[in-house]
């Protein structure tokens, strides 16, 4: 019985058990509500994590479907991978190139266009990415 526990059940138990680090990463992403890259998370947590731990943790969370990510080229911070908590309905974002913040677009503006494409080309779409780049309302008003 003990052998079975060690050989079989213990690995399963460990696999299911979320480490403190991963839990904390999820909490940060959840609290911020906007896509975050590893360096933003690093700034948010100073002292408690090093960058390598953050990369490893994010990688684990994405492989296990807790978070999703996309690559975005911000004029200020360059090409980075951004992570968000995985939700039932996916979101797209608008990125302001003045204040470099992301704002969520809760409804998918491509929904109808994608089913048209599927119908026309017989191509089954698994995934799609769309991030709008521009100037947010706040920045547009303050530059006037
Ligand atoms: Zn802005
Ligand atoms: Zn930017
Ligand atoms: Zn979409």
CA distances from 120 to 1, 35, 114, 116, 127 (A): 59, 33, 10, 6, 17
Q: Alpha-carbon distance 143 to 93, whole Å?
A: 22
Which H or E element spans position 95?
strand 92-96
Check residue 144 and give its pLDDT.
61
Ligand 3 centre and the CA of 17: distance in Å?
Answer: 32
Domain boundaries, the chain: 19-143
Ligand 3 centre and the CA of 113: distance in Å?
Answer: 10
Q: Alpha-carbon distance 132 to 20, whole Å?
A: 34
Check residue 6 and give its pLDDT.
54
Ligand 2 centre and the CA of 54: distance in Å?
Answer: 22
Within the chain, residue ranges assigned H as helices are: 2-4, 10-16, 20-32, 38-45, 51-63, 111-121, 137-143
Check residue 106 and give its pLDDT.
85
Identify the nearest ligand to the CA of 99 by its number.
Answer: 1
pLDDT tens track of the chain, all 144 residues?
556 555 555 545 545 556 888 999 999 999 988 999 999 999 988 777 889 999 999 999 999 999 999 999 999 999 999 999 988 778 899 999 999 999 999 889 999 999 999 999 999 999 899 999 999 999 999 876
pLDDT digits (tens, 9 = 90+) for 110-128: 999 999 999 999 999 998 9
Q: Alpha-carbon distance 15 to 121, whole Å?
A: 41
Ligand 2 centre and the CA of 73: distance in Å?
Answer: 8
Identify the nearest ligand to the CA of 93 by its number.
Answer: 3
- In this structure, are residues 110 and 128 in contact, taking their beta carbons and an 8 Å threshold? yes
Check residue 4 and give its pLDDT.
57
In this prediction the pTM is: 0.80
Nearest to 97 by CA among 80, 74, 79, 131: 74
According to CATH, what is the number of the domain 19-143?
Answer: 1.10.10.10
């Amino acid at each position: 019985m003990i052998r079975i526990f060690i050989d079989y059940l213990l690995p399963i138990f460990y696999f299911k058990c979320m480490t403190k680090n991963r839990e904390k990463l999820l909490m940060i992403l959840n609290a911020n509500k906007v896509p975050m890259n590893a360096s933003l998370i690093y700034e948010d947590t100073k002292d408690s994590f090093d960058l390598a731990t953050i990369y490893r943790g994010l990688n684990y969370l994405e492989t296990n479907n807790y978070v999703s990510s996309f690559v975005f080229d911000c004029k200020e911070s360059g090409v980075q991978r951004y992570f968000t908590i995985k939700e039932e309905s996916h979101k797209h974002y608008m990125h302001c190139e003045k204040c470099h913040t992301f704002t969520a677009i809760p409804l998918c503006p491509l929904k109808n266009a994608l089913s048209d494409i599927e119908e026309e080309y017989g191509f089954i779409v698994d995934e799609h990415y769309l991030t709008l780049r521009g100037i947010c309302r706040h920045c547009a008003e303050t530059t006037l």
